[in-house]
Structure 1
Amino acid sequence: MLGGLFGVVSRENLARDLFFGIDYHSHMGTEVGGLAYLDEDVRVISCDISNSQFKSVIQKYYGEIKGVMGIGVISSIEDEQPLKFESKMGTFALCTAGFIRNAKELYEELIAEGASFKRTRSTPEGPVPNQTELVGEIISRGKNIIDGIETMYRKIDGAISLLLLSKDERCIYASGDTFPLALGNRGEDWAVASETSAFPNLGFKTFKFLEYREIISISENGVKTRGNVGFKKKFCPFLHVYFGFPSSDYYGVNAEIVRERCGGFLAENDDIKADLVLGIADSGFAHAIGYVKRKIELAEEKIRLKIEEFKQGKISFDELREAIIEEVRAIPPLRRPLVKYTPGWGRSYIPPTREKRELIAKYKQIPNAQLIEGKRIILVDDSIRRGTQLKDLLREKIWPYNPKEVHGRIASPPQLYPCIYDLSTRIEDLATYKAIGKIEGDISKYLDPTSQEYKLMVEKIRDMIGFTTLKFQTVENLIKAVIEAPNNKGLKEEDLCLYCWTGKY
């Protein structure tokens, strides 16, 4: 499950840096926001943000924030955090982001060992432990904090990124997982964040990207690497495709650039004639920019070839002029026949309930009828999971205004499985499942755009949602969009978790 973490050692203004650093992760969660800071003791504030923004809820505590170091979280899980622990290794506060698949087994194991849990939720299916409390209990059983974190990683089946604020050691421990962390520097001050987009406006510059499950400590004396067990790296490329803020970098690779590259791959060999390109805000907009950008580049290449033909006397000046006009006119402009009403509406994928997701999706996009009527539209979006939001969007906000055609171009491959960290989606909910049912045998035929099985699957999804035509990104091009992007700091193809598209983890 999604969540954003931010921690800082700040000699200048802890309250400002911590408050805004956490708030810059608001796109990563909708349920709980909180912070902890070290004054004379560890102080913890945790709030329900399901009906309001982090900044508006936490602002009343702003004046209470003292000291030089603190941590915070915004989460899509309803569990209270950060949490404060009293343990044999001293007092500490902890916040986490991620998901533990074997939480029930670990919870029962700890209960059998005599652990006491105070924040377990009762459900019809049985007790559900608070994830952060579970992680804290495991850490507390280590020889020290470092050993506790390493033990936790060996025990869990899942992914946990964490920040731990130690009173006794006067430092912040940080470790990133499938959803990584980055370290920022500002003179003698340090910050650690899920999103590097939290750094610039606070004056920090990205210093390094933490290795997978590397453990560092940050104090007034600087930064130390405290552990690196050498687990096999796993990274979620959907941070680049959708989850992450556009200006954020992961292992050096920028999210906006990857989205533009994805759109560029969609544009290649796409011969659909259109009057405009629409990117579904917000993340689909960057993919749409990449689509149009690549169409311009392809037109330039064709025009250069025609100029060479003219120079060689193969075509006349009039033929050259007509060829140039034809290529320029064939480039569909990027326009906004749907406009996101930003104030008050968040992301429609993150909320845990279907009702809330569909409510946000319904009201956040406003159609502009005069840009839709009679137009051939290429609609670019980051992904199709359930397909319900896109289906409703076309039925309620586009087709009623009489476009001529609406062509779907999806920047990621068909999702054949729910993300292993996604509690809100069952495999039966996926558009692919509705199209083809349970996949039996060789999955590769549903990954190959040339196979009859793949074509039939896409055609059924197209008909179900209501597009004139529909094309998806290939797995190969998605990998290229990430791995071959500029400034890659060691991210390799084998590091990418492609489970939701290929079934391989």
Structure 2
Amino acid sequence: MTSGRPSLGHHCGVAAIYASQEINIPEKLFYPLFSLQHRGQESTGIAYRKGGGTVVYKDLGMVSSVLSRYLQGSRPSRVGIGHVRYSTHGGSKLENAQPILVSCNKGEIALAHNGNISNTQELKNRLFAEGSIFQTTSDTELFLHLISRSRAPSFQEALFETLRTTEGAYSMVMMHDDELYAIRDPYGFRPLFIGSGEGMTVVASETCAMDILQIREFRSVEPGEVIRVDDSGVHSSFLPQRSGRLHQCVFELIYFARPDSQVFDDPVHERRKRMGAALAAQDMATNGTTGQPVGDIVVPVPDSGNSAALGYAEASGLPFDFGLTRNHYAGRSFIMPTTDARELAVRMKLHPVREVISGKRIVLVDDSLVRGTTSRSLVKLLKEAGAREVHLRLSAPEILWPCFFGIDIPTRRELISNAMSNEQIANHIGAESVRFLSIETLKSCLDRPDNYCFACFNGDYPFRVPISREELSIPARHPQPAGLTHQGD
């Protein structure tokens, strides 16, 4: 079972700095991690070198509360890494906070990881049988066990041996003694960037973390690239490709990344606007020969629907306005035990602007629909505030399958689109209509659609994943993907 969250869970975010001379590394790491806070709000931490050893400080909470101590006083260092965490594999516990530090026969290793290892259970069973002792429930710890147990003669050879053993998504930063490593899996599931300036080499999950440090020269870490940074410079080598194509997570562009970032060398805001415009065109084509929009005004669900709603409004000719405001002090979505309590949590976070929506037919634009609980509360909220009609539009296709590469997607049984048609969903949440962006239309919004993973929409996983027989046995309203042979228990 999943955590019961009503919406998709964020990934994690990583940052790292290698400086040509000693600087205040902990302070410098604060800023890119703060910029990546949207990728994880459960815990944060940093690791940096000091006096020939590695110091780690991490805790549950936000960057501003956990790491603000490093904005006072100087802690000279040349290399450090940092992490913001959202728990996808392993619970929200302090022992799962990152970076994880170990001292082993290969030296001191500190690691911060964004992604999920899909063959975790297989590797963990093997290591456990061989005597490994696990300190966390996070799959990140597997990398450290495998490196330590490798009989390869050097750290770099042990690292490559480990990376060839693991399957799934990993964009990560690692310190091995005084060296910095930046690593991205061969499928390219998660974004990762490297740049230089101001006497620093900087690695981060998104370009917004580069911007805050005024790093202007940067590039994507290539899929399968392993970068080592030390006193002699930046050295790049590559893991063997495991398939003929990439599988970059399309949800990075739909929802996860910050709008002012680039991921996979694509501008996020522009892509989301394009999805919204395509959704409007799809909508008007569905409305018959008149091609008229279904509403009077386009309202985004803040902040996840803002860019797509803007694109929808421009393409449809409808006015755009903020009919909902967000209380940014409400923090994360609450996990409440009852329907009334969950509805109250939505009301604490989102508030209608009555003057904008009263008497109007609302086109409500959001990024995706998971269980439908939040949408149901939102529709009720808008209608109580005087909305005449609410038409929910999603800039993602229907989510039908779980993710094994870093998104906290519920089981198939909990995904509303596996149980209900669009008309049934509309009736369930109290809306006049519900429509999703089709997979083919989504692909038309991307410059290189063959480089993206759409498995959560169509079940077409790039390799065998640990999906259970129970999951596979759930009747599907949509055709089962032909490649179910590459899934297993």
**TM-score when normalising by structure 2:** 0.81
Distance 2:76 2:382 in 1: 51
* 50, 55, 60: which one aligns with 1:43: 55
Distance 1:86 1:134 in 2: 15
Distance 1:16 1:344 in 2: 27
Secondary structure of 1:199's match?
A: helix
Pair 1:55-2:64 in alignment: yes
Question: 1:108 offset after TM fit, Å?
Answer: 2.2
| Farther-moved stretch of structure 1 (280-289 vs 154-163) | 154-163
Pair 1:207-2:215 in alignment: no
Distance 1:154 1:358 in 2: 46
Question: 1:474 offset after TM fit, Å?
Answer: 1.1
Question: 1:358 offset after TM fit, Å?
Answer: 7.1
Secondary structure of 1:212's match?
A: coil
Instruction: Give the conservation status (yes or no) of the 8 Å contact 1:94–1:163.
Output: yes
Secondary structure of 1:240's match?
A: helix
Question: 1:111 offset after TM fit, Å?
Answer: 2.3
* 325, 334, 348: which one aligns with 2:320: 334
Distance change (3 Å), C-alpha of 1:48 and 1:384: same
Pair 1:145-2:161 in alignment: no
Instruction: Give the conservation status (yes or no) of the 8 Å contact 1:213–1:231.
Output: no
Distance 1:42 1:61 in 2: 16
Secondary structure of 1:105's match?
A: helix
- The residue aligned with 2:121 is 104
Instruction: Give the conservation status (yes or no) of the 8 Å contact 2:58–2:66.
Output: no
Distance 1:267 1:423 in 2: 28
Instruction: Give the conservation status (yes or no) of the 8 Å contact 2:301–2:364.
Output: yes
Distance 2:236 2:182 in 1: 10
Distance 2:318 2:336 in 1: 37
Pair 1:258-2:271 in alignment: yes
Distance 2:399 2:256 in 1: 15
One-letter code of the match for 1:279?
P
Give unpaired runs (5+ residues) of structure 2.
Answer: 1-9, 285-291, 462-489
After TM superposition, list the pairs within 5 Å mapping 1:162-173 onto structure 2. Answer: 162-167=172-177, 170-173=178-181
Pair 1:466-2:430 in alignment: yes
- The residue aligned with 2:281 is 268
Instruction: Give the conservation status (yes or no) of the 8 Å contact 1:353–1:424.
Output: no
Instruction: Give the conservation status (yes or no) of the 8 Å contact 1:161–1:176.
Output: yes
Distance 1:87 1:332 in 2: 62
| Farther-moved stretch of structure 1 (377-386 vs 363-372) | 363-372
Question: 1:274 offset after TM fit, Å?
Answer: 2.8
Pair 1:282-2:279 in alignment: no
Distance 1:286 1:493 in 2: 20
- The residue aligned with 1:234 is 247
Question: 1:273 offset after TM fit, Å?
Answer: 4.4
Question: 1:35 offset after TM fit, Å?
Answer: 0.5
Question: 1:434 offset after TM fit, Å?
Answer: 2.4
Instruction: Give the conservation status (yes or no) of the 8 Å contact 2:44–2:60.
Output: yes
Distance change (3 Å), C-alpha of 1:64 and 1:133: farther
One-letter code of the match for 1:429?
E
Distance 2:192 2:174 in 1: 13
- The residue aligned with 1:418 is 402
- The residue aligned with 1:174 is 182
Spell out, residue by residue over 1:247-300, the C-alpha distance to the aligned partner (whole angstroms, 9 max, x if none): 1112210111110000010121522243211011112010011112223xxxxx
Instruction: Give the conservation status (yes or no) of the 8 Å contact 1:462–1:470.
Output: yes
Pair 1:345-2:314 in alignment: no
Secondary structure of 1:288's match?
A: helix
* 44, 59, 76: which one aligns with 1:66: 76
Distance 2:59 2:74 in 1: 15
Larger radius of gyration: 1
| Farther-moved stretch of structure 1 (494-503 vs 132-141) | 132-141
- The residue aligned with 1:132 is 140
Instruction: Give the conservation status (yes or no) of the 8 Å contact 2:296–2:362.
Output: yes
* 385, 390, 405: which one aligns with 2:389: 405
More helix by share: 1
Pair 1:85-2:98 in alignment: no
Question: 1:140 offset after TM fit, Å?
Answer: 2.2
Distance 2:129 2:342 in 1: 38
Secondary structure of 1:108's match?
A: helix
Pair 1:370-2:391 in alignment: no
* 37, 48, 65: which one aligns with 1:26: 37
Distance 1:110 1:34 in 2: 27
Instruction: Give the conservation status (yes or no) of the 8 Å contact 1:190–1:222.
Output: no
Distance 1:84 1:481 in 2: 41
Distance 2:217 2:342 in 1: 33
Instruction: Give the conservation status (yes or no) of the 8 Å contact 1:417–1:500.
Output: yes
Distance 1:254 1:223 in 2: 26
Distance 1:360 1:8 in 2: 38
Instruction: Give the conservation status (yes or no) of the 8 Å contact 1:212–1:234.
Output: no
Instruction: Give the conservation status (yes or no) of the 8 Å contact 1:188–1:222.
Output: no
Distance 2:435 2:409 in 1: 26
One-letter code of the match for 1:74?
V
Instruction: Give the conservation status (yes or no) of the 8 Å contact 1:146–1:215.
Output: no
Distance change (3 Å), C-alpha of 1:131 and 1:225: same
Distance 2:344 2:131 in 1: 44
Question: 1:361 offset after TM fit, Å?
Answer: 3.8
- The residue aligned with 1:9 is 18
One-letter code of the match for 2:127?
L
Question: 1:160 offset after TM fit, Å?
Answer: 2.1
Distance 2:323 2:14 in 1: 35
After TM superposition, list the pairs within 5 Å mapping 1:436-475 onto structure 2. Answer: 457-475=421-439
One-letter code of the match for 1:258?
R
Distance 1:221 1:102 in 2: 35
Secondary structure of 1:68's match?
A: strand
| Farther-moved stretch of structure 1 (268-277 vs 208-217) | 268-277
Distance change (3 Å), C-alpha of 1:353 and 1:20: farther
- The residue aligned with 2:169 is 159
One-letter code of the match for 1:253?
D
Spell out, residue by residue over 1:371-428, the C-alpha distance to the aligned partner (whole angstroms, 9 max, x if none): 2210111111111111111111111x11112212111111011111122344551111
What is the aligned length? 423
Question: 1:70 offset after TM fit, Å?
Answer: 0.5
Distance change (3 Å), C-alpha of 1:13 and 1:80: closer
Distance change (3 Å), C-alpha of 1:354 and 1:335: farther
Question: 1:359 offset after TM fit, Å?
Answer: 6.8
Distance 1:357 1:3 in 2: 25
- The residue aligned with 1:445 is none
Distance 1:412 1:424 in 2: 14
Distance 2:174 2:18 in 1: 13
Distance change (3 Å), C-alpha of 1:2 and 1:386: same
Distance change (3 Å), C-alpha of 1:216 and 1:64: same
One-letter code of the match for 1:384?
L
One-letter code of the match for 1:176?
R
One-letter code of the match for 1:339?
T
Spell out, residue by residue over 1:55-93, the C-alpha distance to the aligned partner (whole angstroms, 9 max, x if none): 112212443643021001011123132121112221121
